[in-house]
Amino acid sequence: MSRGKLEYVRGGHIHACATSLIMKTGGWRVFTPSVEEKACNRCKLCVWFCPENCVRLTENAVEIDYDYCKGCGICAHECPKRAIVMKREEG
Ligand code: SF4
Ligand code: SF4
């Protein structure tokens, strides 16, 4: 949709193949999740609950793709070990 000089993309709308990849929702973020690895029991709940599918467990860590993390805090809310803390972004 075009209004004057600004281009708008309808939210939550996949309008062509793989457009979800170019919709980098990380720009929406006000709070950033930070993982305390020592507290993590590797239950994977954060992976399953993340609506952006941007959390993954590697062999040694919980990795968050900040290009797509919109800072909703669901991962922190669902973490049974309180291993994820939401921190307000600076600036
Ligand atoms: S939900 Fe919490 S405890 Fe479970 S894997 Fe994620 S960070 Fe670790
Ligand atoms: S804050 Fe939201 S979008 Fe970011 S990793 Fe957690 S659940 Fe996913």
Count of the separate structural domains present in the chain: 1
What is the CA angle 51-28-37, rounded to 5?
60
Q: pLDDT: is 16 or 80 the higher one? A: 80
**CA distance linking residue 24 with residue 80, whole number of Å:** 28
Report the CATH number at residue 41: 3.30.70.20
3-state secondary structure of 87: strand
Q: Which of 47, 52, 85 is the best mutation target for the ligand 2 pocket, counting ligand atoms within 8 Å of the beta carbon and taking the most?
A: 52
pLDDT per residue as tens digits for the range 6-61: 666 666 666 677 777 888 889 889 999 999 999 999 999 999 999 999 999 999 89
Report the predicted TM-score, pTM, of the whole model to 2 decimal places: 0.83
Distance 1 CA to ligand 1 centre (A): 39
Q: pLDDT: is 20 or 3 the higher one? A: 20
- The pLDDT of residue 1: 46
Q: Domain for residue 56, yes or no?
A: yes
